[in-house]
């Protein structure tokens, strides 16, 4: 009989896994709220709390379908939703897209984990952007793989450098992750950069994993190119869903579309199907929302054009931050975030997590620190641009006040 241990402990697989976006800083915010403080949450891209409601057609469809959504669906997803997704990619240029190429999941997050688990063996490497959405790094480690970060260049609009990426390819590299539009920087990559990344995958026989959940949230008529449209000879897994464009993050309604030489991926797809079967199916009522969303009026367009809420909030946040001494920030071309830099000569920060905790405690403003996104220095933080213009102005004024105290020494440096 195994002797009793003093305590149950977590698996060693979790030793190097982090997801600080919902980590100690969010826990401190919850503590302050229990004490009665009102916290302005600029840390999570969750549209609903900021008054962004789902289109009525989606809600009405889900309500109507509830009586038929009480049982399991096919593990790949209901046919009508997969047809709608295939037709969506057909309109984007993928004329051969088929419902059989589409798999539904409980949000993109679940699908990232399953795609990587089906792909990676111990020590297999995945090229992931830095900064990144940290689930990609954490899920790679949990799947037994090794994340290898390539650097997005802040001096060049946060675009990646294809030469730097290629220099990190080894005989253990299995896949290249692309997050476009990027979270946390808001960068939208031009066609020529995407073509270079696709070519790296082609020449080194890598799977391209294209996280495009923000694909419809772009500004100033910047072109968003779906990576799957750039080749027919690179196995590409495209991730997207309803969370952001259709403002239903809580529905957990996501999908993957697999394109390219799928005949060369028969064994891999059998493994992916096994994982899909093991979790039975995705949330069935949320699957019924997909056809209504993709087939209806794309109301996000009203929000991203001049005078639209997302457009004006992006502009306000950028302008206010750029006015603060020692703060530089690239204007986001897409997504819902800004990733400002604090001049280290003015704000010498050793521990950026503690820095944002002090901001939270003093100003009741909750942001995310840059290292939470696997960034290489402690001089950045991510700010969500979902609050109203008025609330953003107030919040950024509070950040400016905190930074003024930090600069003058009135706030202890961390």
| Portion of the chain with pLDDT greater than 70, in percent | 96
Go through 351-383 and write b for each residue having 16 or more CB atoms within 10 A of its CB, e for each that does not: ebbbbbbbbbeebbbbbbbbbbbbbeebbbbbb
Please indicate whether the domains covering 12-52+303-408 and 56-295 agree at the CATH topology level.
no
Report the pLDDT value the prediction gives residue 24, as an integer from 0 to 100.
83
Quote the mean pLDDT of the chain: 92
> Mean pLDDT across the stretch 274-283?
92
| Other CB atoms within 10 Å distance of the CB of residue 3 | 4
DSSP 144-178: T-EEEEEEEEGGGTTEE-HHHHHHT--TTEEEEEE
Q: Counting runs of H as helices and runs of E as strands, what totals does the chain give?
A: 13, 15
Q: What is the pLDDT of residues 62-84, one digit of tens each?
A: 889 888 888 989 999 999 999 99
Q: Which helix (H) or strand (E) holds 207?
A: strand 207-211
Rg over CA atoms, the chain? 22
Task: Give the start-to-end residue ranges of the domains of the chain.
Answer: 12-52+303-408, 56-295
CATH number belonging to domain 56-295 = 3.40.640.10
Peptide bond into 181 cis (omega under 30): yes
Q: What is the pLDDT of residues 155-200, one digit of tens each?
A: 999 999 999 999 999 999 999 999 999 999 999 999 999 999 999 9
Peptide bond into 131 cis (omega under 30): yes
Report the pLDDT value the prediction gives residue 44, as an integer from 0 to 100.
87
In this prediction, residue 327 has a pLDDT band, given cuts at 50, 70 and 90, of: very high
User: Is the predicted pLDDT of residue 15 greater than 80, yes or no?
Assistant: no
User: Class of the 12-52+303-408 domain?
Assistant: alpha beta
């Amino acid at each position: 009989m195994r002797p009793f241990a003093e305590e149950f402990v977590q698996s060693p697989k979790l030793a190097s896994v982090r997801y600080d976006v919902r980590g100690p800083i969010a826990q401190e915010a919850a503590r302050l709220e229990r004490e009665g403080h009102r916290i302005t949450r600029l840390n999570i891209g969750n549209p609903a709390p900021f008054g962004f409601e789902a289109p009525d057609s989606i809600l009405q469809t889900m309500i109507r379908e509830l009586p038929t959504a009480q049982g399991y669906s096919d593990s790949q997803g209901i046919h009508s939703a997969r047809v709608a997704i295939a037709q969506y990619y057909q309109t984007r240029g993928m004329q051969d897209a088929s419902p059989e190429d589409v798999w539904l999941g409980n949000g993109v997050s679940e699908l990232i984990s399953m795609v990587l688990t089906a792909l990676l063996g111990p020590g297999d490497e995945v090229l992931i952007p830095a900064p990144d959405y940290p689930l990609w790094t954490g899920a790679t480690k949990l799947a037994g793989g090794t994340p290898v970060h390539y650097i997005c260049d802040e001096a060049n609009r946060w675009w990646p450098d294809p030469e730097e990426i290629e220099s990190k390819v080894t005989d253990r590299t299995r896949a290249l992750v692309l997050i476009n539009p990027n979270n946390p920087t808001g960068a939208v990559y031009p066609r020529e950069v995407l073509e270079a990344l696709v070519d790296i995958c082609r020449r080194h026989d890598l799977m391209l994993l294209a996280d495009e959940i923000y694909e419809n949230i772009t500004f100033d008529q910047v072109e968003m190119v779906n990576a799957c449209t750039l080749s027919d000879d690179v196995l590409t897994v495209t991730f997207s869903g309803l969370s952001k464009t259709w403002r239903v993050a809580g529905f957990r309604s996501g999908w993957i579309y697999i394109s390219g030489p799928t005949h060369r991926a028969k064994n891999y797809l059998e493994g992916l199907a096994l994982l899909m079967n093991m979790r039975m199916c995705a949330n069935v009522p949320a699957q019924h929302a997909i056809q209504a969303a993709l087939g209806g009026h794309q109301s996000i367009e009203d929000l991203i054009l001049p005078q639209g809420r997302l457009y004006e909030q992006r502009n306000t946040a950028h302008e206010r931050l750029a006015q603060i001494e020692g703060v530089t920030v690239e204007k986001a071309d897409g997504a819902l975030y800004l990733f400002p830099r604090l001049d280290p000569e003015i704000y010498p920060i050793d521990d950026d997590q503690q820095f944002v905790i002090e901001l939270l405690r003093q100003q009741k403003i909750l942001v995310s620190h840059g290292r939470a996104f696997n960034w290489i220095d402690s001089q950045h933080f991510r700010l969500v641009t979902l609050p109203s213009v008025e609330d953003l102005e107030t919040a950024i004024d509070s950040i400016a006040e905190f930074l003024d105290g930090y600069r003058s020494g009135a706030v202890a440096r961390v």
